[in-house]
Structure formats: structure tokens, C-alpha cells
Amino acid sequence: MLESDLRALFERQAASEPPPAPVSVPAAQRIGRVHLRRRRAGTVASPLLAVGAVAAVALSGAISPGAAHQSDTPRASATPRASATPRPSPAQTQPAPITKAVGAAPRQFNPLLEYASFGWLPFSHPVIVGGTGLSYEFLEGSSPSLQNTFNWTANAAGACRLAGKNLTCQGQSVADRLTSRAPDIDGHVAYWGYVPLPPPGPVNQILAYQYARGGWATLEFVGNRYHPDALKIAQDMRLGQALRLRFAVQLTGLAARWHLATDQGFNATPAGPLDRGFGFISQPRPDSNAPAPLEITAQPASTEGVGTCANTRWSVASANGSNTTVGPGTRRVINGYHVYVNSQDQILCANNVDGLSLAIQIDPPTSIPSLNVVSIFTHHLRVLGTDPANWTRDPIAP
Amino acid sequence: MTSQRDAEYAEYVSVRLPALRRLALLLCQDRHRADDLVQQAIIRVYVHWVKASGADNTDAYVNAILVREFLHERRSGWTRRVRVTDQLPESPILTADPDGLIDLQAAVTKLPPGQRAALVLRYYCDLNIDQTAAALGCTTGTVKSQTAKALAALRSRLAGDAPSADRQPSARARHHSGEASHHA
């Protein structure tokens, strides 16, 4: 009797007329991308770490645009990562020549450069996603159906520590139950293990190994341990390439202390548009240790469901890791473009600016006294369109 | 991440959104909290979309994410998050009570989150014990005990008896009653 009453109650509640949904799918995608990036970087709750690293790099000058001329090979296609790394199909018996890393792992990665690429993947037309921060670079290769994925992450020298059966990078556990030795990879130690705290469903496996002296890499995949494809992928990674990336937007007229902190992009195989999102982080203000991050995301405007601004609510991930749902932005016309501006939370979203949808966010909102999202959009941002031929290798220009 | 992945994700979530909101409403017994929960859950679905879309039963996988997010967030105090809205407070979910369900709803609202989740999964989602355990990430024994405790608490409340936890007198009451018995 009580059980039937419960069913009736639940059915009635579920059938009641709901108000318009304040839930935002594009916001979930945007926040989800941030989570993915941080998860891959092993910095889920430590944006401060990244900012601190930027300050250190600024002092050494290692990230200045001029430091990125080791290889300036032009890229012909709309998919820089893909064009830089031809991927043989499984049917090819002779893998392409492999560039092995030598010596020590980099102390920092350069977001202007591509350090690594896949030398081999078990898919004939993989979808490649990649991103670089100061302390990491990740590449994800998926089957065309996206059902099968290999996620490779390299961490900067000294960023990781192997303690017992657990590998931590930047203070975050990235692999645990490293109980079985895998065959050495390029002469370095390797272990099979698991991704910590898996969600419901299949447990992801991981191959953790030293890709160069002092630097750990992980390859995450779904499947059985001792996956032969995982071993071959790890063995065939091309490392130490230092190829320059191109960007669809450019910041201009900012103080010299601004540097590119992270970037992320992907190649939608086989010839889809390159989607390049990237973030900028300024130095901490002289009078404060507070970070002043500015993130700009550019995506093809035609991508359905992404970058759509006409939502009444935003989910904002604050610097302390919590999320807050905030009110709607105000629709405005700036330089002839329709944009949505949330001044309180310093978010600007544009559905279509020369073929790109844009999202600009300053977090924390008051962290850059001299700038706001509108002034950045109006005076400091060049949108270079969807044609990669017009893109730039210098995302921050004088 | 990728255009294709994003498009598939957006299509799936858009179609499933009403069902997710209904499930969240039953878990939270509050529309605003339910929508917050759904927002958090679909972020997690995005992060794990490759696994979700590749699961044998994507709907069950996503439901499990929602339920676990509910239990996890309840533990971590997410309901304290700031929320800005231009909407008026909602009216009660049930405005008429032809079957005497308002009392039952009130009783369900007072159940601990784990017990409420077990009931929703068993009697709304029609999951069996094993499926409920998989969704909650616990053993079948825990599901049985949670369900039994929940039903007992509901019967007790509907019968007019406060459950044992509610019958615990306050410290002040215990003190006074103790004094009374002592004096007696």
C-alpha cells in the first residue's frame, strides 16, 4: 500500500508542470571543458599554481614570443596539430619515423609550441584534442565514433612524485594502484594502474611512465590492462618537437607582462574546423598575490549548442573551485556585434563574430582593475576569422 | 572538446533534460535545488561523455551520475551556494491532495538523502535491487536496509508517530524531565 502510494506521489510530482528550465547546456559544456583541462593538468583545484608558474616564467623570459622560433614551419591545413603529425592507419605496416625525446624533461612547457604528438594511434581517422599549459601538455586521440579514447598527458620535470603505488602531479593524484610493472618505455620505468576515483561505469586504466628524465607521462584508456595499443602509443610518441601553434584571436595593446598561460584546441577529423580555445593569465598585481586570470574561448560559430549566449543563466566556476549560478547577461551591440555582457561577473559572450563564437571571462571579476570584458572586446581583441591562413602565431601582440 | 562530441552531448542532454529534471526534483523535493543539481550533473556528464556515450545504457549511466552528485553534494553542503534568480519562490509541488499524498510528500522530504534516493530509484525508476545498488554505488544489502528504514520511517510518520530520531527529546527537555523524575 505504501509502495503504491509512493509510486503515485512520485508520478504526480514528476508530472507537475515544470517552470522553464534554467539549466544551461552550453554553460555545462563550458565549465566541463575547464574541468577537463584542469583534470588533465592535474590541477583540479589549484589555479594558483598555474599563475605562480607564469610569474616565474615572466622573470626568466622563457615564454616570451620571441623564444618560440625553434621551428616555424608553416602549416597548410586548418588543423595545425593534425598537419604537424601525420597519423598512419593501422593498416600501415611501417610507422613514420619517430622523434624520441632525449635528456631531461622540460621544466616548463610553452603554450605557444607543440611539444608532443602521436606517432601512432589504432584508428584510421582519429579525432585529436590537445592542450598545453606551463606544467603539462595533453593529447587525446579518439576513434571517429569517440567510443574509444587514449588520453596522453606529459607533466613538466619535477611536477610529479611517485609515492608507493600512487603517482601525484601538482599535488593531485593522477594514477593509483600502480601495482604492475609494464615493459620499459624508451629505457624508462613504466607501470600499469588505474585512474583515481572513477565515475560510474568502466574503470579507466592507465599507463604511467617516465617519458624523459625527471618527467612523468600518463596514458589513460578504457580497456584491459596490459593493452598492447597503449604500449605502442607510448613507445611511438613524438617528443620535443617545438612546433609553433596558430591562434584564431589576438590580444593587442596590453602591458608587456601578459603571457599566454594555457591553450587548447582540437582537430575534428578528417577535415573539420579547428577549434582553438585558449586562456591568458596575467602576472599577479604588484600589491597582491591574487591571480588575475583572463580566459578567452573561440569556437566556430556554426558549432551547434556551443557558444550560444542566449541563456538566462550562467554557471560560474570561481577561483576556489565552487560553482555559482548567476543571473542573465545584458544584450548589447558593440562594434556592430551582438553580445551578452554580465558586468558583475565579468563575462562577455558573442554568438558570432566573424564566424567565431567568443566567450571572455575575468575570474575573479575584479582582479584586473584597468580592464573589463567589454574593454577587452572593444579595444584589445582582434578576431581573425575562421580561415587558418589568417591566424597568428603571436596571440599577444604589442 | 570536439565539435562532434559537443554536438552529440548537446543533443543527448537536451533530449534527456526533462527526465533529468524530474528525477532531480524527486531526489531534492525542491525545484531550485533540483535544477542546480542537474546543472552540476550535466557538467560531470560532459567531463565523462566518452564513457557515458559508450556505456551499455547511457541513460542509466547518466542517472547514476545525477544520483551520486545528489548524494555527494548533500554531503558537501552544496545547498549553501549562492543563487541569484529573478523568479518568485515556487508554489508547493502538490496543490491538491485528493489521495492524501501531501502528508506522504512531507514525510518523504524529511527522509535522509540516501534513503530518499533508494526510494526514488526503486519506486519511480523501477530499478531492482541490483540496479539500485549500481546506481548508488553501494551493496545490495545497503539498498535493502535503506529501503526498509525509509519505508518504516514513512509508516511511522504517516501513522502519527514521530520516528525514533524525531522522538529524541532535546537536551533541555531531557534535562527537565530528568529533574522531574529526580524530584519525583
Nearest CB to A14 within list B9, B22, B154:
B22
**Domain positions in chain A:** 76-243, 247-397
Report pLDDT for A149.
82
Residues facing A132 on adjacent strands: A137, A263
Nearest to B25 among A13, A32, A36 (CB): A13
Mean pLDDT of B30-53: 85
Task: State whether A323 and B81 contact (CB < 8 Å).
Answer: yes
pLDDT digits (tens, 9 = 90+) for B129-168: 888 888 888 888 889 999 999 999 998 888 875 444 333 3
* Residue, of B168 and A358, whose pLDDT is higher: A358
Give the residue on B whose Cα is nearest the Cα of A148. B50
CA dist., res. A255 & res. A171, Å (int): 32
Task: Give residue-wise pLDDT tens across range A108-157.
Answer: 888 888 888 888 998 877 777 777 877 888 888 877 766 678 889 999 99
Contact A266 B137 (CB under 8 A): no
- Give the separation between CA A365 and CA A47, rounded to whole angstroms: 15
Q: Percent of chain A scored above 70 by pLDDT? A: 64
- A17 to chain B: nearest residue by CA? B93
Q: Is CATH 3.40.1000 what the domain over A76-243 is classified as, yes or no? A: yes
Inter-chain contact B18–A18, Cβ cutoff 8 Å? yes
Indicate yes or no: CB of A8 within 8 angstroms of CB of B47.
Answer: no
Residues of A in contact with B4 (CB under 8 A): 127, 146, 268, 272
Pick B74 or B157 by higher pLDDT: B157
**Nearest residue in B to A306, CA atom:** B6
Q: Return the SS3 of A366.
A: coil
pLDDT at residue A100, as a whole number: 53
- Region B100-112: mean pLDDT is 85
Smallest Cβ–Cβ distance between B104 and the set A9, A147, A322 belongs to: A9
Mutate to test the interface with A, among B14, B58, B108, B123 (most CBs of A within 10 A): B123
What CATH fold (topology level) applies to the domain B100-184?
Answer: Arc Repressor Mutant, subunit A (1.10.10)
8 Å CB contact of B10 and A25: yes
Contact status, residue B99 vs residue A5, Cβ threshold 8 Å: yes
CATH 1.10.4160 assigned to domain B1-80? The reply is no
Write out pLDDT tens, residues A76-91: 222 222 222 333 333 2
| Distance between CA atoms of residues A328 and A288, nearest Å | 31
Residue partners of A128: CB distance under 8 A and separation at least 6: A79, A81, A82, A85, A87, A118, A139, A140, A141, A142, A266, A267, A269
- Which residues sit opposite A252 in a β-bridge? A397
Question: Where do the structural domains in chain B lie, given as residue ranges?
Answer: 1-80, 100-184
